[in-house]
Structure 1
C-alpha cells in the first residue's frame, strides 16, 4: 500500500558544514523553515532547564545590530514570522514567509542565532513573562498532576523529570545574562544542526542560504543524549497534590516505555493504546467512562515524550469531581487492565487502522506542517523510508501482534496514578474498594 505523498520521493538532503539541510518541495507560494540545535532543557540540569528556555526565547528579542522593534518591523513588512523556543531535547526556531523573501528571512534568523544581544532589561522582562507562565500552570490541576506523574516516573536528573513550579520560578529569578551567554556559546552552533524547508523552495538555493545564514558559527561536537531507561515500580503507586477549591481533579495514569519509534512492536502498541483512549469518542475509556456513565467530560490515552532520541511514556488522563473520583479512577484502571490482559477485537483493529491511516494521510495535506514533521523524524533518528512504510505496516497489522504488544509493554499494575485537586483522603482511599467492586460485578455479568 502506498500513499499519495511519498516523503522519500519529495525530500532532498544535504549534509554540509555540520548542518543537515533538507527540503520538501510543494506547490505552495509560502515557505516554512524549521530548525533545531541540541540545546534543550536536558543539557541544563543545574538550572532545571531555566537557562536553556530563556536562551531560546531571548534569541528572538534583539541582535547586536537590530533592536526588537527593528526586527519586528522588518518581518512584518514582509508578512513573515520568526519564533524561538526549546523543549526537553532541542532548542528550535520556526520561520515562514513568501518564497521571494526567504533569503532575507533566513539571514535574519541566522543573525538572531549568531549574534543575540541578550540585553539585561529584555532578559528581566522575559524572566517575568516565563515565571508568570509557570506560576499560572501551578494553579491548574491538570498541569500539577502531569508534573507529579513525570516527577514520580523519572528520577531527579532524568530528562523527563520536571522541577516543581516554585523551584523553577525561583531558579529563573536568579538567571543572569552571563548564564544565558555561556549556555548560548556552549550549545548553539553547527555540528548537530537540522534545518528543514517546505513549500516553493529550490533545494540548492536553500543550502546556500543556510550556509550564508549560519556562517562562522562554531561546529560543536555531536552530543549523546543521556536517556537512561527507567525501571517500573513493583506495584501501583498513588501520588496526590491537594489543591483547595479545585473541585474537579485531574488524574494521570502512566508508566515509562523502553521502546523506540522504530521498534517493530511500537506500531502495534500504538494501535492498542489508541483503542484504549485515542480519538474523540470511539475508544474504550470514552465509551465506558464518559458515554455510558457520564463520570467525566474528557478522557484519553496516548504515548508521549518522544523528543529527540529520548524514550517516552504511556499515559491516560481524565478529570473527575470528588463524588465520582473513586469510581472514575477505578474504572480507568479496570479498563486498562482488561485491554492489557485480554487485548482488542478484530472490529476494533479494523476501525482504528482506518482511523490512524486517515490521520496519517491527512497530515500530508497540511503542507505547512510537513517541515516540522520531517524535523521531528530526523531528530528521533527515524528514517523517512520507515515513515513511508507506515501504511503498509498498518495494512498488515494483526490482532495477535497488537495484543502481544499490549501484554508485554502495557503494565497497569506497575503504573503511577497522579492526581491534583480538592479531593478528600476518603475519596482517594476509595479507589481500591471501587476497583474490587467493579471486578466483582464484571465476573457476575
Structure 2
C-alpha cells in the first residue's frame, strides 16, 4: 500500500487466492455495514440474441435457488434490510449484495447459492420475461435510447458484444426463450471463470475470506467461448432516420468506433478528452450547444466501453424539431474544432482536477471502494492500489491528450442516427 493511500485513510486490501479466482477484503470505517461485490466471465455471446439471453438468465438467477423460493429470499433480505442484485454485461456477470456485518455469513451463502444453484421454472420465467419486456417497451419511448441503440448497429457487426438489437427484436427474442434455453446457458456459462469477489466494510477481511472460500468450494470454471475477431459492420449510409410516431422531440446519437480498449496506455487521456468534449457540465458541448445556444435538452458525450474488441466514442443529444438542424450543426462544429485545435491548458487542468475529485468522492462509499478494487484487478493493476486511477490520471499531460485526440477523434468517420417525428418543422 502506498504512502498516499495511507494519507487518505485507506487500509490495505487483503488478497486471498481462491481455487479459480481471487478474494479481496478491505476494512472500511462504515459501522456495522458490509458490501459483497463480484464478477465472473460468461464468455462471448456468439449467437444472435446471446446478450438478451444473458440478461434474462441474470434476472432469474437473483430470484430463487434450489433451497429457497423467491418469496422466502425476498422475506429474508427484507427482514435484515439487505439487498442482492445480479446484472449481466456483454461477456460477464456482476453481482452485488449489502447487509449488516452480523448477517454476512448468511449473505454469502444466499448469494453463492443463487449463482451456483438457481431455480428455473416456467412461472419465474414468465414473470421475469414480462418485466424485461415492459422495461424495454418503456425505454423504447425515449428517442435518445432508440438512437443510441441504432448507432451500435451502424458501428458494429452483429456478433460484436456491443451490438444492441432493436427493442422489437429483443422482445421477440425474449418471447422465444424457454426454460431449457435458460438452464442450458447457466449450465454452460456460469462458473468460477476469473471469479473475483470483494468484501468491503466493517469486517475482518480474513474472516470474510474464509466465508467466501467455503461458499465457492467445488465451483468449477466453464470452458466459455472467447471471440477476438468480429469482422466489420454491414455497409450502410453514414446517417439514418428512424420514425417514432407520437414523439415530440428528436433523439440523436453520433459517433465512431475506437480501437483502444480500457487497458490501453492512452485510455486515461482518452477519458479526459471525453470529459472535455461532453462528459461534464463544464464541457465544450454542454456549455456551448446546450447552455449558451440553448439548442438541446440533453447533451453528453461518452465512451462506449467493451472489454474486448474496442468500443466507440459517441455524442447523445435531444432537441425539438425547430432546433434539430441547428443543434446538429453546432455539435459537429464543436467536435471538429476539438479535433483540429486540441485542448486549452486551463480546460485540461480543470478536467484533470475534476476527474480526480470525483474519483475521491466515490471512494467515500462502499460501492466506490468495491469498484476501485475490482476495476484495478480487471485492468491488471494491483488490487491494493486503490489510488491507481488518480495516479494515472494525474500523469496525463497536455501533449499526450492532444496526441490522443489527434489520432482517436475522427469527425469525418462519424455516423449519425436520428430518431423522432416524421419531419422537422
TM-score (norm 2): 0.91
Q: 1:315 Cα shift?
A: 1.0
2: CA distance between counterparts of 1:122 and 1:91? Answer: 20
Task: Return structure 1 stretches of 4+ with deviation > 6 angstroms.
Answer: 229-236
**Residue ranges of structure 1 left out of the alignment (5+ in a row):** 428-445
Which residue number corresponds to residue 127 of structure 1?
129
Alignment counterpart, residue 45 of structure 2, candidates 34, 43, 46: 43
1:338-368: CA deviation from partner (whole Å, max 9, x where unpaired): 1011101111112112111211211111233
2: CA distance between counterparts of 1:285 and 1:191? Answer: 41
1:297 aligns with 2:300: no
1:6-47: CA deviation from partner (whole Å, max 9, x where unpaired): 87x62121222112211122121211001222126x436343
Do the aligned partners of residues 311 and 201 (structure 1) sit closer, same or farther apart at CA in structure 2, a change above 3 Å counting?
farther
Superposed, 1:239-254 pairs within 5 Å as 239-254=240-255
Equivalent pair of 1:19/1:192 in contact (CA under 8 Å): yes
Which residue number corresponds to residue 321 of structure 1?
320
1:265-324: CA deviation from partner (whole Å, max 9, x where unpaired): 2222222221111212x1111222112211112211122324x44532211111111111
Equivalent pair of 1:229/1:258 in contact (CA under 8 Å): no
Which residue number corresponds to residue 403 of structure 2?
404
Alignment counterpart, residue 33 of structure 1, candidates 33, 36, 39: 36
Which residue number corresponds to residue 358 of structure 2?
359
Equivalent pair of 2:285/2:334 in contact (CA under 8 Å): yes
Equivalent pair of 1:153/1:255 in contact (CA under 8 Å): yes
2: CA distance between counterparts of 1:225 and 1:376? Answer: 20
Do the aligned partners of residues 235 and 284 (structure 1) sit closer, same or farther apart at CA in structure 2, a change above 3 Å counting?
farther
Superposed, 1:14-413 pairs within 5 Å as 14-28=16-30, 29-39=32-42, 42-43=44-45, 45-221=47-223, 223=224, 225-228=226-229, 237-280=238-281, 282-306=282-306, 308-309=307-308, 311-384=310-383, 388-413=387-412
1: CA distance between counterparts of 2:145 and 2:215? Answer: 38
Q: 1:417 Cα shift?
A: 1.1
Q: 1:384 Cα shift?
A: 4.1
Further displaced range: 106-115 or 371-380: 371-380
1: CA distance between counterparts of 2:119 and 2:422? Answer: 48
Which residue number corresponds to residue 430 of structure 1?
none
> Aligned-pair RMSD on alpha carbons?
2.5
Equivalent pair of 2:51/2:161 in contact (CA under 8 Å): no
Equivalent pair of 1:260/1:266 in contact (CA under 8 Å): yes
TM-score (norm 1): 0.88
